[in-house]
Amino acid sequence: MKLKELITERRNPATENLDTMSALELVTAMNREDAVVPRAIRRVLPQIAKAVDMIAARLAEGGRLIYVGSGTSGRIGALDASECPPTFNTSPEMVQFLIAGGELALTQSAEASEDSAELGRSDMAARDPGNRDIVVGLAASGYTPYTISALEYARSKGASTIAVACNCGSALGKAADIQIEVEVGPEVLTGSSRLKAGTTQKLICNMLTTGAMARMGYVYSNLMVNLHLTNKKLLERGIAILESLANVSRDVALQVLESADMSVPLALVILKAHASKSESVERLRKAKGNVRKAIEG
């Protein structure tokens, strides 16, 4: 790999005077460059959709989604994984992350670890990936040894693999079953992949987990029915969801929610299916947590 040949490492001619720009000129230039990202992602939506279906299928089988990356990419994977339990009330084991340098790398620079293919293999081996799991490798360059070796190891053990990179024809892509490669051009600040490349990866991760959870029925309509009611704001959100979807008063929503052990999905099935608590529990069990299927029986 010749680093200077990668699009993510080239100088951006539009921002060669970055250090002499006024604040308004600078943020205008950044905003203009950022607008490239959604247009570029639009071109790979079929690949992202294929990945969403694959993730949903593996998770429905009891498998795990494991993000792996280094530096900015690793932190983006960690962010998306950590958002799944509060958003969808999933277990921390369902969506996980690996980052080169370990969890210390979330707050401190550990970029030297990204050069170790051996570390990537050993870190992934410790997760014991299998044929029900799916591993998403994140790397702006697409050539990070740690991430490539982790993905290759997981694939050798039967796990499904997805590559998310910002250079086409990448080594990471070649190591994966599904390639999501989005070229967004040189960064405003040369080589700073936390900018457009980072935004690209974040938007794709948003699609992967939100799409998979929706396909699995962890949402109902466009509402977060699987949310965990851990504070006043979330309690009010849960009540509002029941009021809206079941067309009941706030008092009725709260009463049923309390009888359902503060479980929004269970309360929703009770209300929408006109079923008892025990029957609703059984409906959800048979539907594997898919709220719509549980309601429809």
- pLDDT above 80 (res 290): yes
pTM of the model: 0.92
Dihedral angle at the C-alpha atoms of 251, 255, 260, 264, nearest 10 degrees? 10
Q: What is the mean pLDDT of residues 274-289?
A: 95
- pLDDT above 70 (res 1): no
Q: Which of 61, 111, 114, 183 is catalytic?
A: 114
Domain with CATH 1.10.8.1080 in the chain: 232-296
Assigned CATH topology for domain 3-215: Rossmann fold (3.40.50)
Q: Which of 25, 33, 83, 103 is catalytic?
A: 83
CATH of 232-296, one of 1.10.8.1080, 3.40.630.10, 1.10.3720.10, 3.40.50.720: 1.10.8.1080
Q: What is the mean pLDDT of residues 202-226?
A: 95
Alpha-carbon distance of 140 to 182, in angstroms, equals 9
Residue 181 annotated among the catalytic residues of the structure: no
Please, are residues 77 and 136 in contact by the beta-carbon 8 Å criterion? yes
pLDDT digits (tens, 9 = 90+) for 142-201: 999 999 999 999 999 999 999 999 999 999 999 999 999 999 999 999 989 999 999 999
pLDDT digits (tens, 9 = 90+) for 207-217: 999 999 999 99
Residue 83 annotated among the catalytic residues of the structure: yes
- pLDDT above 80 (res 270): yes
- pLDDT above 70 (res 263): yes
Domain with CATH 3.40.50.10490 in the chain: 3-215
pLDDT digits (tens, 9 = 90+) for 94-130: 999 999 999 989 988 877 788 899 999 999 999 999 9
